[in-house]
Structure 1
Amino acid sequence: MKSKTKLGDDEIAIFRASVGEVKRLQTDKVLRQPPRPAAIAWQTRRDQARVMEEIFDFRIDDYDLQPGDALAYSRPGVRKTVMRKLKRGQYRIDAELDLHGLSAPRAQAALYGFMRDARAADIRCVRIIHGKGRRSSNRGPVIKPLVSAWLRRRQEVLAFCSARPVDGGTGAIYVLLTGLAPGG
C-alpha cells in the first residue's frame, strides 16, 4: 500500500496557479451520455425504407394478371429493334434466377441481390423464372405481377418481356440491363 505524500506549500501554489479558479459542482453525480448509435448513410436508410414500402404497400390487386398473360416493358428511348430482339430471345442469357416457391419478401430479396450481382459482373441480359401462378389459389399469380412491378422501379432495367416457350414462356422473362446493348 502506498503512503500518501504531502505536498508542500510551493507545490500547492504552483498547482492552483496552473489550474486557475475552480468552482464547486452543484452535485456530485456524474451524468453519463449513452453512446451515439453508429451512423447510417442517408442513402442506405432511404433505400431500406423504399424496400419496406414496396414489400408492405404493394397490392397485388393492382396487377390483374392471369397465368398465361405475357409481360412486356421498355423504358422510354429503348429502340423497337432492341425490344424485338429481346422478344425473339436473340440476346445471350448470361445468368438466370428461379423464384419458384418463394414468399414475396424472399423473392424480392433474391431478385434485388441477383440484379446487384449481375450489374457488378457487367451482365447485360438475364432470365428470371417467376412461374405462371397456376398453383396459386383463386387469386391468380402472385410472384409474376410483383416481379413486373419491382423491375419497373429498377434504374438498371432497360426492358423486359415474357420468354419464348422454349425458355419458359409466360412463366419467365428476359431482362435487358443498362450498358451497351449485348451482341451489338
Structure 2
Amino acid sequence: MRKPRHLSAEERALWDRVAERATPLHADRDLPKPDAQPVQKPKKTLVLHDPIPDFRVGQKADMARTHDVMRPLVDRLAVAPVNMDNKSFGKMKRGKLKPEARIDLHGMTMAEAHPELVAFILGSQSMGHRLVLVITGKGKDRDDGGPIPTRFGVLRHQVPQWLALPPLSQAILQVTPAHLKHGGHGAYYVYLRRNR
C-alpha cells in the first residue's frame, strides 16, 4: 500500500484560502481537512424537489412567425413572368377561361399524386388541351403541434415544383392559382404549350 502524500506548506496555505471563501453545500456537515483520515460518510437523506412542471416542446416559440426563407408560393407565382398572351392570361386569372380538363389530387399522398399529375399533364397536352385545372386542396388548416413545424397543404406547395421540373416543364407555358370559382388557392390553372 502506498504512503499517503502530505501537502506542502504552499499547498496547505492555498487550501486554507479556498476553504475560507467557499460556501458549504451542507452547513450541518464539517469540511474535511486535507491531511485528515477519511471520515465515515453519513447516510444519504432523500431530498424531495418540486416536480418539474408539465411542458410542451416549443410552447414559448412564436408560432405566428414563419420560418420559411422563401416568399409564400402565391407571391412567387404572382411575380412569375407571363409566358403566354397577356390578354388570355388576364382572362384566365379572372376565371373567364374554362378549363378543358381537370384532375383532383385532393386527399392523395405525394407518392400517389406525382405519377397521376405527370400522366394527366402529358395526356392533356397530347389531346391538344390548352388550359387544365389541377386541384390540390388547401391542405390542413393547423399545425399538428410537433417540434418541427409542418407546412400547410403539402400538395399545394409540391405541385408547382413538380410542374417546373422535367418532363412536365417542357409541356407547360404558365402556372397560376385558380380563380375562386375554380377552387382559389386550392387549385392551379396550368396553361399548356401546343403539342408539336
TM-score by length of 2: 0.52
Deviation at 1:90, TM superposition (A): 2.3
Distance 2:116 2:142 in 1: 20
Question: What SS is found at the alignment partner of 2:137?
Answer: coil
Distance 2:72 2:140 in 1: 11
State the AA in 1 paired with 2:158: L
2:153 is matched with which residue? 141
Question: What SS is found at the alignment partner of 1:96?
Answer: strand
Deviation at 1:88, TM superposition (A): 1.2
CA gap of 1:64–1:131, structure 2 versus 1, over 3 A, is farther
Question: What SS is found at the alignment partner of 1:86?
Answer: helix
8 Å contact kept, 2:83–2:174: no
Deviation at 1:130, TM superposition (A): 0.5
1:171 is matched with which residue? 186
2:89 is matched with which residue? 83
Between structure 1 and structure 2, the one with the greater Rg is: 2
State the AA in 1 paired with 2:130: R
8 Å contact kept, 1:160–1:175: yes
Deviation at 1:121, TM superposition (A): 1.0
Matched, 1:105 2:111: yes
Matched, 1:131 2:137: yes
2:61 is matched with which residue? none
Distance 1:136 1:124 in 2: 35
CA gap of 1:158–1:177, structure 2 versus 1, over 3 A, is same
8 Å contact kept, 2:104–2:135: yes
Distance 1:97 1:124 in 2: 14
1:92 is matched with which residue? 98
Cα RMSD for the two superposed structures: 2.6
Distance 1:142 1:122 in 2: 30
Point out which structure has higher relative CO (alpha carbons under 8 A, 6+ apart).
1
1:16 is matched with which residue? none
Percent identity of equivalent pairs: 30
Single out whichever of 107-116 and 131-140 deviates more from structure 2. 131-140
Give the structure with the larger helix fraction: 1
User: Which 5+ residue runs of structure 2 have no aligned equivalent?
Assistant: 1-67, 144-148
8 Å contact kept, 1:136–1:142: no
1:156 is matched with which residue? 171
State the AA in 2 paired with 1:144: R
Q: How many residues align?
A: 118
